[in-house]
């Protein structure tokens, strides 16, 4: 009887952990967002983030964001370390929203020809920079989604996404 009890209580050789079925396998690509100090509380940043999340759902790319430091004067000098941190993380595409963030990323992109950048609401297109103007034929979220998906698929194109 004791042997039967020990056998019944002995752990099986197979694992009992069953991972949740809603987990997603990400590809080795991250799209990064640089916002102003308000972060995703800013309506335009929230719209951009929505487009990035839609691109992530469509491609399985990871998305992340960094907000410029709260409590500091928002200048190109104060935002540059945040922009550089995204470059150093080797984000596959960096999206910037907010006037100071766009100006900062425009300057940073000039020194990183290998990077891919999307500037929302301003800036100038270059070989490694796409611009999403504040107004256009479709929503900012959908234009950001198209730009990020193109970068993920290796078909990044500079120019203006209107």
Say if residues 92 and 152 touch (Cβ distance below 8 Å): yes
Say if residues 31 and 49 touch (Cβ distance below 8 Å): no
Identify the structural domains of the chain with CATH numbers, from first to last: 27-160 (3.40.50.2300)
Chain segment 12-63, per-residue pLDDT in tens:
566 566 666 667 788 889 999 999 999 999 999 999 999 999 999 999 999 9
Packed helices 76-88 and 99-110: angle between N→C axes, nearest 10 degrees: 60
Say if residues 141 and 154 touch (Cβ distance below 8 Å): no
Which structure tokens are listed for 21?
């079925």
pTM: 0.83
């Amino acid at each position: 009887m004791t042997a039967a009890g020990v056998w019944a209580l002995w752990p099986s050789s197979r694992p009992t952990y069953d991972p949740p079925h809603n987990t997603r396998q990400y590809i080795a690509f991250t799209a990064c967002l640089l916002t102003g100090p308000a972060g995703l509380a800013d309506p335009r940043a929230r719209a951009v983030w929505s487009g990035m999340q839609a691109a992530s759902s469509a491609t399985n790319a990871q998305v992340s964001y960094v907000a410029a430091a709260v409590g500091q004067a928002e200048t190109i000098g104060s935002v540059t370390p945040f922009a550089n941190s995204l470059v150093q993380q080797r984000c596959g595409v960096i999206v910037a929203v907010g006037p100071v963030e766009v100006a900062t990323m425009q300057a940073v992109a000039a020194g990183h020809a290998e990077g891919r950048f999307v500037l929302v609401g301003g800036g100038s297109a270059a070989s490694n920079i796409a611009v999403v103007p504040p107004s256009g034929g479709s929503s900012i979220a959908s234009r950001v989604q198209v730009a990020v998906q193109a970068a993920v698929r290796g078909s990044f194109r500079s120019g203006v996404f209107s």
